[in-house]
Amino acid sequence: MPPKELLAQELELKIEHVANAIELLDQGNTVPFIARYRKELTGEMDESMLRQLQERLQYLRSLAARQQEVKRLIAEQGLLTAELAKLIDHATTLQQVEDVYLPYCPKRRTRATIAKEKGLEPLADSLMDERLGDATAQELCQLYVDPDKGVESAADAMAGAQDIIAERVSENYFVRELSRNFFRTYGDLTVVASDQNVSSPYEMYYEYTESIRRIPPHRVLAINRGEREGLLKVTIQLPQEQLIERILLRFTGRQLVPQFLREAVTDGCRRLLFPSIEREIRNSLTEVAEEQAIKVFAENLRNLLLQAPVKGKIVLAIDPAYRTGCKLAVLNPEGRVLDTAVAYITPPQNNLAHGRQLLLSLIEKHRVDLIAIGNGTGSRETEEFVAELIGEQQLPASYTIVNEAGASVYSASPLAAEELPQLDVTLRGAVSIGRRLQDPLAELVKIDPKSIGVGQYQHDVNQKRLAETLQGVVEDVVNSVGVDLNTASPALLSYVAGVSKTVAKNIVSYRDEHGPFSSRQQLLQVPRLGPATFLQCAGFCRIPEATDPLDNTSVHPESYPVARRLMPLMQEGVQESDLAALAKELDAGLPTLRDIYAALLRPGRDPREDLPGPVFRRDVLEMEDLTVGMILPGVVRNVVDFGVFVDIGVKQDGLVHISEISDNYVKHPADVLQVGEQIMVRVLAVDLEPRRISLSAKGMSKS
């Protein structure tokens, strides 16, 4: 089946929309551009669907290329039959193609190849004859005794022939498919401790068995990690005798199998086939688990990046620490540094009097509205100090805790040195914390997504695949929000559709040299930004003070003529319900016209403004203050397969297990809750020693 037809069938899309999407992708158009500005051609596929289609298309093309390659390689050996060619052409996975090729691919010297060198392959062929019994087989083996070839006896001949048969069994396409399905259906992942006396985080797996069909992805990754660390031993257990009987019937076609053939097949299964399939199944379990972990990370990252910005506020950012003191940075509403300092308000210095004076002077001098405290080392003491100061002095400011994961990575990066050359590395961290509060998206794009800390087992998964997925997420979010062409950093601009890192730097250099952009058309004057790049990026670039108000909307320049005809009609009272009739008159597709209408209705709209902002506090709560049954507001900090971690205002995030998320059945926590979401929770248990908090959201409303 041609790829476009197969994709249409698999993704339940119209074939013409799939064909159009493939053509647009092949022409070099970006996913955000296609999703936003080519809706009529694709049937309004969103970014997620387009990326799924793109990925699957790439796989199908790789599959087709490998099918042709394998047929060529087998044909060069003079062994390609019509039956083999049909088997290869009908393969739907790369694994099936490799299974067909397995008997024909070059391999290292094995017991079977040694037996073939001794001239025993014809004997192996004869032993497969269904009319041959054990006695006749022994007589036949006698004919192949040849000391010059290393075959000293009939037993040697039989052993060599059995080695050949054993390898054939392990490489047989149909036997491998049968075994693979049997493993998946009846196999159990069995885990034991390498040493029962060693204490470790994996103790729940020291004597553990779970069906391959049912084991959840996060458990697979945990077991894999324990195995890598040498603390766990993992095998797949299954009823092997039952599988061998099925293989005997499939491979020989006989109900009654002579002993010599049974021995050969059994040896091939235990020595070659089963270990190979076990490795495959383990790899498959890991791939599925990694995909799930990457999916969870991607969704968490998307929600984190889409957190509402805090606009128009002067922020005092604090990067807490012990020995080196807390770094302070005051930022204006645009994120420009107004002042910096260091306060020694945490142990061991505890210079609280000087700290109070310093913070008060900064707050009063710059009229600080909000205080952003990083959640790293020293955060608890800093929060207590700030809360007490606000209460004592009756300050109008409030504070919030900001996740500082990755701030130190940014601080030491060349990008930070370029952006904040006048500041010490340690002070750059405070600036990053403050800017994360003011505009999470603009600041977080400067950091490797893997350093942001909203995933599970992110360091255990395929790093290339993870990076590609997260890159796509950031790209989709940046383009859905849009960027201010006159304030965006090179890091942010590099995620705009069609804009490379080099072009992003060129945009900023042009802005520095010629002043703020007043028109999208000026982009065409930026070095290396030609018409093709302009087509991709223009609609995602905003200019709030533009001469043409359309330049501050998501309307693409190619649609300006339609937008200009629609504007007076909207002033006359045209409603969204009238657009279907207007589309033909304006020579525009209905989806595009709807988007233009929405953009004109709310020019300069930031979609993040519709989301709830951060939780601001004026007092502090200790973990020791918690009691069972207490109901508190919280913010979801991380979503994982087994639950969500919630910040309830104490140093330690609490866990809402998946079973405590809702009164209704929850398949996955991400179906109900998202990173950054505000919820009410009930305290179930507080364990001060390992500092664990168990929470429940059952019967609770979202705050």
Distance (Å, rounded) from C-alpha 560 to C-alpha 549? Answer: 11
pLDDT at 703: 53
Q: With the C-alpha atoms ordered 455, 457, 458, 461, is the resulting torsion angle positive or negative?
A: negative
Pairing of strands 678-687, 643-647: unpaired
Distance (Å, rounded) from C-alpha 338 to C-alpha 417? Answer: 18
pLDDT at 702: 63
User: Which DSSP letter does residue 441 get?
Assistant: H
| Residue 83, token pair as written in the block | 């039956």
* CATH superfamily, domain at 623-696: Nucleic acid-binding proteins (2.40.50.140)
Pairing of strands 315-319, 370-374: parallel
Pick from 379, 416, 419, 424: nearest CA to 401: 379
Distance (Å, rounded) from C-alpha 534 to C-alpha 496? Answer: 11
Distance (Å, rounded) from C-alpha 471 to C-alpha 478? Answer: 11
Q: What does the domain layout of the chain look like in residue ranges?
A: 3-104, 111-296, 315-438, 623-696
pLDDT digits (tens, 9 = 90+) for 291-306: 999 999 999 999 999 9
Contact 522, 506 (CB under 8 A): no
State the virtual CA torsion across 250, 256, 261, 264 in degrees, nearest 10. 60
What's this model's pTM, rounded to 2 decimal places? 0.87
pLDDT at 624: 84
Helix (H) or strand (E) holding 675: none
Both ends of the chain: CA-CA distance in Å? 51
**DSSP string across 126-170:** HHT-TT--HHHHHHHHHTT-BGGGTB-SHHHHHHHHHHHHHHHHH
Distance (Å, rounded) from C-alpha 380 to C-alpha 390? Answer: 15
Helix (H) or strand (E) holding 234: strand 232-237
Structurally, at CATH architecture level, domain 3-104 sits in Orthogonal Bundle (1.10)
CATH code of domain 111-296 = 1.10.3500.10
pLDDT at 618: 66
Pick from 440, 452, 442: nearest CA to 409: 452
Residues of the chain with pLDDT under 50: none
Instruction: Note whether 3-104 and 623-696 share their fold.
Output: no
pLDDT digits (tens, 9 = 90+) for 512-568: 999 999 999 999 999 999 999 999 999 999 999 999 999 999 999 999 999 999 999
CATH code of domain 315-438 = 3.30.420.140
Please report which residue ranges of 367-424 form alpha helices under DSSP H: 379-393, 407-411, 414-419
Pick from 484, 376, 482, 494: nearest CA to 445: 494
Question: E strands along 492-590, which residues?
Answer: 541-542
